[in-house]
Amino acid sequence: MGLVAVCSRRASRSSSACFIVTMLLSLAYMPCEAYLSSTFYDKMCPSALNTIRTSIRTAVSRERRMAASLIRLHFHDCFVQGCDASILLDEAASATSERNALQNLRSARGYEVIEAAKSQVESICPRVVSCADILAVAARDASVAVGGPTWTVKLGRRDSTSASLSQAETDLPRFADGLEKIISLFDNKGLSARDMVALSGSHTIGQAQCVTFRDRIYNNASDIDAGFASTRKRRCPTNDGNGNLAPLDLVTPNSFDNNYFKNLIQRKALLESDQVLFSGGSTDSIVSEYSKSPATFNSDFASAMVKMGDIELLTGSSGVIRKLCSAVN
């Protein structure tokens, strides 16, 4: 006999009780909401965060550029299947490894840094801390290591057992994307245009390959400073040097600051996808605001990183804790 029939028969005597039972059964079939907490590992692995921090500081002290690479790695992870460490799975672990996506191939870096941090955490707390959480914490610690903002990282993510090359190629921005395309990609992940501009500010550090900005510096368009283009041509010839590097921020390439936005206003963005943020469109005012207020930029960047870290989470039994970040094990 169904619940509705029972409730109908006894409505006069126990309508309130039936209502409670009905609500409880309804709740039982509702999906559980993902729950993260900054104190998730406090009892299970109290030294986890300090261990990760030390490992990341060591890596960044060896190579300053690594800070930008780790922030980008976390971003490229979260935009494909959510923040689940799927980007860390190599070709041996997944035939559809995201490492081979056009937006990652020969440009995504830092895999070995995350693996080293994971190894150190595993030595003290085996199979407790996920690769997804290590990557999220590493992005924060990398920012701090080069003078950028800090934020509270919520923890409790689980790792995926699969990757998606096709989703990486459709959901990750490309260096020649226009403004509306970029806004749409971020909106699909629950991030606003303001979040997008703030997160793009991470290009205040790091470098890009010649192949990603060659068209921009040679097209003689009105949206690029002629002197800036001439300087960049020295290490980016028309038909050679695809892998030659140039700093995304020519002024302070190794410091996390707001010079990136000042560069946009001066038409000195290295990538087309950066310059479109200040090109007479809807995000011009945000760029202007950040160029004048580093405090506002830092605050918004931190908030956007927290928000990005909540994309499509795996928690509890929905995922696993990998022993090696590059493999399903």
Catalytic residues: 76
Residue 128 annotated as binding site: no
Residue 203 annotated as binding site: yes
Residue 153 annotated as binding site: no
Residue 243 annotated as binding site: no
Residue 310 annotated as binding site: no
Residue 46 annotated as binding site: no
Residue 22 annotated as binding site: no
d(CA 86, CA 161): 7
Residue 173 annotated as binding site: yes
Residue 58 annotated as binding site: no
Residue 312 annotated as binding site: no
Residue 84 annotated as binding site: yes
Q: Which of 129, 98, 107, 74 is nearest to 305 (CA)?
A: 74
207-209 and 245-247 beta bridge pairing: antiparallel
Binding residues for Ca(2+): 77, 80, 82, 84, 86, 98, 204, 249, 252, 257
Binding residue ranges for heme b: 203
* Residues of each annotated binding site: 77, 80, 82, 84, 86, 98, 173, 203-204, 249, 252, 257
Binding site residues for substrate, as ranges?
A: 173
